Chain A
Amino acid sequence: MATEYYEQQPVGVGDALRSLRHEAANYRGILSWLATVDHKRIGMMYGVTAFLFFLVGGIEALVIRSQLATPNGSVVNAEQYNQLFTMHGTTMIFMVVMPLSSAFFNLLIPLMIGARDVAFPRLNAFSYWVFLVGALFLNFGWVTGDVPDAGWFGYANLTTKAFSPGHGVDFWLFGLQIMGVASMAAGFNFIVTILNMRAPGMTMFRLPVFVWMTLVTSFLAVLAFPLITVGLFQLFFDRFFAANFFEPVAGGDPLLWQHMFWLFGHPEVYILILPAMGIVSEVLPTFSRKPLFGYPFVVFSGIAIGFMGFGVWAHHMFTVGLGSVANSAFAVSTMLIAVPTGVKIFNWLGTLWGGSISLKPPLLFAVGFIAMFTIGGLTGVTHAVVPSDYQQQDSYYIVAHFHQVLFGGAIFGLFAGVYYWFPKFIGKMLNEKLGIIHFVLMFIGFNLTFQPMMILGLMGMPRRIYTYSEGYGWDLWNMIATAGAFMIAASILVFIINVIVSLNRGEKASADPWDGRTLEWSLPSPVPPYNFAEIPHVQALDDFWHHKYAEDEEGRPLPVVVGAAEEPHEVDVHSIHMPSPSLFPLISSLGFPTIGFGFLYETALVPVGVAILLFGIYGWAIEPAAE
């Protein structure tokens, strides 16, 4: 059928594509990675890229902390400091936590739902390449000297041409715009994958919680990114075509930007934290040997957080003068969102309680998540109390709060995931001792860095200042925070050593090293390209666990004799059809930065970029999806 169809195509293009395709199937080495559509490889590329950016953002943080270690610091000047905190925030949010989460979506979702790949494998590759070129574009300012310096939040009207004349803000706005394309594409891809690609019997309420959180996150991405896209287009028009959306002198309103940004920005916070919550919800049951306590409550609270996340944005704007009615409404909605968040924490405690807890690195990081995220949640409630937020807003207390959530929460959760699933995809165990050292250093370093910031904020230290004088009582706390930051850096060094050591001399991982509960542990480590030789038939939540254990009358698990439960079928893995590799996602993605450079430097490049994009999409559209 397929061959007949392509024989009807114009000879030139079709033949060319097919010979290209044949070649692509035989790619080795670097080319095989450039053309890959395998969700596991894409996941690893996301992970490695995000980790490299984590190092970049971390170095930026270390310079910031060195500057602030003492009063009247002289490590950097005001301009460099503004560039550093802008790039630190932008990097950690858009190039670290989001793509690290994407790495886990990519690696795990098909395995957890019993599928051989995502719904749109080439779109998946496209997401990664667009993310990569967007991130590199945003960082290109380091090369030209035009580094973004208006904050990761890019508040208008500081970002207008009059107040930010250089190209810094342009790199920021096009970079974010490009990465937004990647997030939207990935969001759609995972929504369709989770809804449509589930194995037989994998009903919605048999989905692992991580899959649920991915689904909620994907919906948030699809619904929230259009808001920042529109905001960034408005900024683009303001800066390039003298539109006046945010220009007060011409009747525009800088607060419009804040509404657009936070209407995106608050769901974005949940885009950052929900995947880590999903990871914790997988790690705790495995290492406690108990199912997740109150699965429906955890799932529904995740969904509730997703919905309510769109109704709290103005708590970022309590001091802009919205008036008592608006401030009261958003105070109440913000307090409400603490309820489903609390439910999750209590349910995780319920999972640990009565379990048989194995204190391995994945569990330590997951528990670190709960311990630190709780502080983040509680400090969040103190912001919801509006009059006291009139003091906290834009102080270091806020910096402390969101690092409790995004570092104490998201980063700890993501590291739990790294230690948990590393063996599944690499085939080697990460070293346990080094893992524990990593955790202890990071946990103590984290507390040393961010708890003093709470004190600093309440003692009146504002955010985003590059220097401060003596006599404010801030000196000691800043010094402790800086020491803590270097301790975190040391812990990351231990992690890097761990990865290198384990890759070389790590213990070989079995298929199920942790006595796992979800489908991915039923597969060999590392997972073969086709994932499942035979698509599983799912009969229960934690299906794989139930294949290993029956329950006695008291609900205690009894191991099932191996081989008694089912007879393995002989499957010819060569008969499995997998999507063919393609270079078109990569080619299309190159169109975006070309357009960006065109607007910045030479307008003639804009049509060139559009042409590259269209060529890539055209080739993509007419090449056969699988040979």
Chain B
Amino acid sequence: MSKLRILRAAIPVLLLFALLLLVGCQTDSPQNTFAPKGYPADKQRDLFMLVMWPAVVILILVEGAIVVALWRFRRRRNSERPKQLHGNPRLELAWTIAPALLLASLAVPTLATIADLAENPGPNALQVDVIARQWSWEFRYPDLKDSKGQPISSLNELHIPVDRKIHASVVSNDIIHSFWIPRLGGKIDAVPGRTNHLTFSAYEADTYAGECAEFCGLGHALMKLTVVAQPQDEFDAWVRQKQAAVSSEPGGAVVAAVEAGHGN
């Protein structure tokens, strides 16, 4: 029976993919959500794993049951017409309640984590304003001002100190975008007319790739950003350089020099 051979072949294909999925997740790639290097990307990965494993078990059970049923109950030449079984309310009630219980148990950590991630990071967090527009990212540091009293800013490259909570306030200048840094903190949409917040941090000094995740027209695929996570002293040096860069403009030099002199 070639049909049966085909069916039996189909399931290993599925299992192979499950395996590949796991293998694929280990390979190094700059936006791999399975290789988190920050908060809350690690929590998000853990939560995904918590759901994935029961899901994989259920998948194997269901697909397995299909294969077994097709093999065991295939029609043979001498097959009799089967008993006309109309159902089994007790069994059906069981497979209604069991998934409900499983889902309820998944709902608990889900709700807890939703609340955790929404918590205000407190006054020690570094405030960054993320301004999205077609098709670039501007990052402003409202608490880090240059000599003119303007917040320092950068384009498409977000510098942050390692191990410090970053409180990003995300806005848009034109249409909806989405601020996504997979290895650090998931994503939050930039919606014109409102301010959204994302708290995240990097555990290791490194550069992390991110990009716009909401379709925003012609340049959507090119709306990328880089997060540069640095040790505190390197970050401070970068801030000073940014502050000084403005000072080279006419009129700003003296003030900047004074501020630099204060060891700011």
Q: Which residues of A are at the interface with B, using a C-beta cutoff of 8 A?
A: 78-79, 82, 150-151, 155, 157-158, 163, 248-249, 252-255, 288-291, 293-297, 319-321, 323-324, 327-328, 331-332, 335-336, 338-339, 342-343, 345-347, 349-350, 352-359, 364, 367, 370-371, 374-375, 378-379, 381-382, 384-388, 390-391, 393-395, 436, 440, 443-444, 447, 451-452, 454-455, 458-468, 471-474, 477, 549, 551, 554-557
Contacts and interface: CB of A to CB of B under 8 A. Distances in A.
A554 B196 CA distance: 65
Contact of A549 (B44, B73, B81, B188): B81
B59 A374 contact: yes
A291 B7 contact: no
A358 B213 contact: no
Contacts of B124: none
B33 interface: yes
Interface string B63-93: 1011001100111000111111111110110
A151 B215 contact: yes
Interface string B33-64: 11000001101110110111001001100110
18 contacts: A82-B218, A157-B176, A157-B192, A248-B193, A293-B87, A346-B92, A352-B73, A359-B74, A374-B62, A378-B59, A386-B113, A387-B113, A391-B48, A440-B10, A447-B13, A451-B20, A461-B31, A473-B27
A438 B58 CA distance: 28
Contacts of B110: 328, 331, 335, 384-387
A327 B75 contact: no
A375 B25 CA distance: 18
Interface stretch (B142-150, B179-187, B235-243, B255-263): B179-187
Contact of B82 (A288, A390, A464): A288
Contacts of B182: 391, 460
Contacts of A386: 110, 113-114
B66 A367 contact: yes
Contacts of A462: 180, 211-213
Given A353-B69, A458-B32, A321 B191 contact: yes
Interface string B128-170: 0000001000000000000000000000000000000000000
A349 B58 CA distance: 13
B174 A163 contact: yes
A245 to B, nearest CB: 12
A346 B84 contact: no
A375 B221 CA distance: 28
A324 B118 contact: yes
B11 to A, nearest CB: 8
Residue among B48, B134, B194, B215 with the most chain A CB within 10 A?
B215
B187 A163 contact: no
B215 A290 contact: no
- What 6 A-B pairs are tightest by C-beta distance, nearest first? A460-B31, A473-B29, A390-B186, A248-B193, A294-B87, A465-B221
Interface stretch (B94-102, B226-234, B244-252): B94-102
Contact of B87 (A255, A295, A358, A471): A295
B176 A155 contact: yes
Contacts of B194: 255, 321
Interface of B: 1-4, 6-7, 10, 13-14, 17, 20-21, 24-25, 27-34, 40-41, 43-45, 47-48, 50-52, 55, 58-59, 62-63, 65-66, 69-70, 73-75, 79-89, 91-92, 95-96, 99-100, 103-104, 106-107, 110-111, 113-115, 117-118, 134, 174-176, 178, 180, 182-183, 186-189, 191-194, 196-197, 209, 211-221
Given A321-B196, A555-B85, A335 B214 contact: no
A460 B33 contact: yes
B66 A332 contact: no
A291 B92 contact: no
B86 A463 contact: no
A215 to B, nearest CB: 21
A158 B80 CA distance: 62
A296 B2 CA distance: 36
Contact of A342 (B95, B174, B197): B95
A463 B29 contact: no
Contact of B217 (A163, A291, A454): A163
Contacts of A163: 134, 174-175, 217
Given A155-B176, A462-B211, 4 more contacts: A158-B176, A353-B69, A386-B113, A464-B215
Contact of A254 (B17, B176, B187): B176
B29 A385 contact: no
Contacts of B174: 163
Contacts of A331: 107, 110-111, 114
A480 to B, nearest CB: 9
Given A248-B192, A321-B189, A342-B99, A458 B33 contact: yes
Given A393-B187, A459-B31, A254 B192 contact: yes
A559 to B, nearest CB: 9
B96 A343 contact: yes
